[in-house]
Amino acid sequence: MVKLLSSVLAVVLLAGCASQPQTLYSEMGGEAKVTEIVNNFVTEVEQEPVILAYFEGSDIDRFIAKFEEQICMVSGGGCQYTGDTMEQVHGGMNISEKDFNLTVDLLINAMDKANVPHPLQNRLLNKLAPMRSQMLYR
């Protein structure tokens, strides 16, 4: 059984390394797709009062531009993020785990509605996930 498990694991790990010829950014569909994801995300936020409250008084056009830049950067699109640090942006918001996770669900909805394939969604989430600790309870 251990042998079976390890061979399953080996196949699984090999598949993971198989092929990554282009950047996640270009696989997703580049600038147009990132813009679509971010626009969908803003629409999702507008329909979710709990999360919308966090955006009160913020410059939504600036948010869109900076979030696009950030997604472009973490997905290997070659952009430079020029916005404030995650700590600065989320300072004073005291974001809970619950609301953070709700926001992740909204981002997943936004990617679903932009027809981003499931594996690419996960890879983008993986790039964004390390920022969570810079956003929670600030």
Q: Which residues bind another protein (CB under 8 A)?
A: 1-2, 4-5, 8-9, 12-13, 15-16, 18, 96-98, 100-102, 104-105, 108, 117-120, 122-126, 129-130, 132-133
Measured from the CB atom, is 91 or 117 closer to another protein?
Answer: 117
Which sign, positive or negative, has the C-alpha torsion 60, 42, 29, 105?
A: positive
Closest CB 62 distance from another protein, rounded Å: 27
Nearer CB in complex with another protein: 13/57: 13
Distance in angstroms (rounded) separating the CA atoms of residues 92 and 101: 18
Sign of CA dihedral 91, 126, 47, 28: positive
